[in-house]
């Protein structure tokens, strides 16, 4: 079936806006990275391509028969991904009923969160279910009904008005070696098949995809500028508390950046406040986690040695032979984030020092 004359220009205009947005994103990133090394320049465009891949993987969604799509895989990193977590995302409707089933594997923590959002910035958690109330059998299997009204039995996640997205998260202490969990979603309501395409919705989403990539490139530059003004420091990342921007509610974030010369290390020392789970993770200036598939760029709480309840982390290009080392990949600048899930109190900011690497090696 062909498009009407009225529909054709709208789709064509949306495509042009998409292409123009990609071009603007590339030009913006080229300006932002022109003083960087060829390797850093290429890394920036790889991060932009990963963001596009991430968005395209979720572009065609079916709210009548949704899928829980894996999110933030290593080819699809997007805005401070966390490779110690598994994420799945589905677009849902608040006036429908669904069943989410899965297995937790060796996950240290599992949560299901419904969000209301028209974009990333204004996303807000509206309902959630986690390990405190999620029932799993002896094999680690779970099943949850999502609906506005409670089911006759079983676990229930209430879908309030405006709920449009579901995120399932599983936190792991050692994602490389733990048994990984699974999850799936199925609709519980029948109905006629949807139209073969919703042209207004398609055109609207396509038209904003290119500008979204341009904003991603702008965010790279804004975050780097912000952290460049206060390198080798740590702050409470209050903007990400409470489930903002599709984050996990209940996490307290600490954020900072390193700026190191060859032969230097950044040492963080602080109190390991009691919590459900915590980790530290290194990121590039382009908000991608570093190469967790081949390097030690993250550590979880169970893998960080403590002395008198205190941790010591060493960020450096080479292993000084000290516990708590994190591999900066030799990058002179980058970001790091500490996540504390359900801490008994807000974690204090760690002490931060820049030390010669040889001094750390000789002291261990």
- DSSP secondary structure string, 161-200? TT--EEEEEEE-S-TTTSPP-EEEEEE----PPPPS--HH
pLDDT at position 241, please? 63
Regarding whether 235 and 211 lie in a shared domain, the answer is: no
Count how many residues are written for the chain. Answer: 364
pLDDT at position 191, please? 80
Regarding whether 330 and 255 lie in a shared domain, the answer is: yes
Regarding whether 322 and 240 lie in a shared domain, the answer is: yes
Regarding whether 331 and 248 lie in a shared domain, the answer is: yes
Cα–Cα distance, 191 to 278 (Å, whole number): 44
Tokens linked to 364: 């261990």
**73-82, 100-109, 258-267: which range is least confident on average?**
73-82
* Average pLDDT taken over every residue of the chain: 90
Cα–Cα distance, 326 to 161 (Å, whole number): 44
Regarding whether 246 and 220 lie in a shared domain, the answer is: no
Q: Closest Cα partner for 117 from 91, 86, 98, 95?
A: 91
Q: 270 - beta bridge partners?
A: 311
pLDDT at position 5, please? 47
Task: Indicate if the alpha-carbon torsion angle 354, 301, 290, 245 is positive or negative.
Answer: negative
Regarding whether 24 and 117 lie in a shared domain, the answer is: no
What is the CATH classification number for the domain harbouring 133? 2.60.120.600
| pLDDT level of residue 125 (50, 70, 90 thresholds) | confident
Cα–Cα distance, 91 to 59 (Å, whole number): 10
Regarding whether 53 and 169 lie in a shared domain, the answer is: no
The answer to whether residue 355 sits within a structural domain is yes
Tokens linked to 270: 């602080």
Asked whether 285 and 258 are in contact (CB, 8 A), the reply is no
- Looking at 120, 150, 179, the residue that finishes a domain is 179
Starting from the edge strand earliest in sequence, which strands make up the sheet with 109-116, in order?
69-70, 85-91, 165-171, 109-116, 124-130
pLDDT at position 49, please? 96
Give CA separation, 212 vs 18, 50, 328, in Å: 9, 13, 29
Tokens linked to 5: 């004359």
Q: What is the pLDDT of residues 253-266, one digit of tens each?
A: 999 999 999 999 99
Which residues constitute the domain of residue 46?
A: 1-65+195-226
Return the higher-pLDDT residue of 347 and 9.
347
The answer to whether residue 74 sits within a structural domain is no
The count of domains in the chain is 3
Regarding whether 171 and 210 lie in a shared domain, the answer is: no
The answer to whether residue 186 sits within a structural domain is no
Q: What is the pLDDT of residues 207-245, one digit of tens each?
A: 999 999 999 999 999 999 999 899 999 999 877 665 556
Regarding whether 212 and 172 lie in a shared domain, the answer is: no
Return the higher-pLDDT residue of 63 and 303.
303
Regarding whether 121 and 243 lie in a shared domain, the answer is: no
The answer to whether residue 82 sits within a structural domain is no
Pure H helices in 84-237: 199-228
Regarding whether 234 and 217 lie in a shared domain, the answer is: no
Q: Closest Cα partner for 326 from 341, 311, 340?
A: 311
Regarding whether 136 and 18 lie in a shared domain, the answer is: no
Residues 6+ apart with CB under 8 A from 39: none
């Amino acid at each position: 079936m062909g498009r009407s004359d009225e529909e054709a220009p709208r789709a064509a205009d949306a495509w042009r806006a998409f292409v123009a947005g990609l071009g603007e994103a590339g030009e913006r990133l080229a300006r932002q990275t022109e003083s960087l090394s060829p390797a850093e320049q290429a890394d920036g465009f790889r991060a932009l391509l990963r963001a596009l891949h991430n968005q395209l993987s979720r572009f065609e969604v079916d709210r009548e028969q949704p899928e829980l799509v894996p999110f933030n895989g290593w080819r699809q990193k997007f805005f401070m991904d966390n490779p110690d977590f598994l994420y799945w995302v589905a677009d849902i409707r608040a006036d429908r009923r669904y069943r989410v089933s899965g297995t937790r594997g060796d996950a240290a923590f599992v949560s299901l969160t419904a969000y209301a959002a028209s974009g990333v910035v204004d996303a807000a958690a509206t309902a959630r279910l986690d390990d405190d109330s999620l029932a799993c059998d002896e094999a680690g299997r779970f099943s949850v009904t999502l609906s506005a009204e409670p089911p006759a039995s079983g676990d229930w996640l209430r879908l309030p008005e405006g709920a449009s997205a579901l995120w399932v998260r599983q936190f792991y202490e050692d994602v490389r070696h733990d048994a990984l969990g699974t999850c799936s979603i199925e609709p519980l309501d029948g109905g006629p098949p949807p139209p073969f395409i919703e042209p207004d919705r398609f055109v609207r989403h396509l038209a904003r995809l290119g500008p979204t990539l341009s904003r991603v490139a702008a965010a790279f530059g804004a975050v780097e500028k912000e952290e460049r003004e206060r390198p080798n420091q740590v702050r409470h990342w209050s903007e990400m508390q409470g489930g903002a921007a599709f984050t996990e509610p209940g996490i307290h974030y600490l954020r900072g950046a390193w700026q190191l010369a060859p032969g230097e290390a950044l040492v963080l020392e602080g109190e390991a406040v009691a919590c459900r789970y915590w980790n530290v993770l290194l990121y590039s200036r382009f908000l991608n986690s570093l190469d967790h598939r081949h390097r030690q760029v993250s550590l979880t709480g169970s893998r960080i040695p403590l002395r008198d309840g205190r941790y010591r982390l060493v960020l450096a290009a080479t292993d000084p032979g000290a516990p708590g080392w994190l591999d900066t990949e030799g990058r002179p600048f980058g970001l790091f984030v500490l996540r504390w899930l359900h801490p008994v109190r807000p974690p204090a900011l760690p002490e931060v020092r820049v030390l010669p690497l040889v001094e750390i090696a000789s002291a261990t």
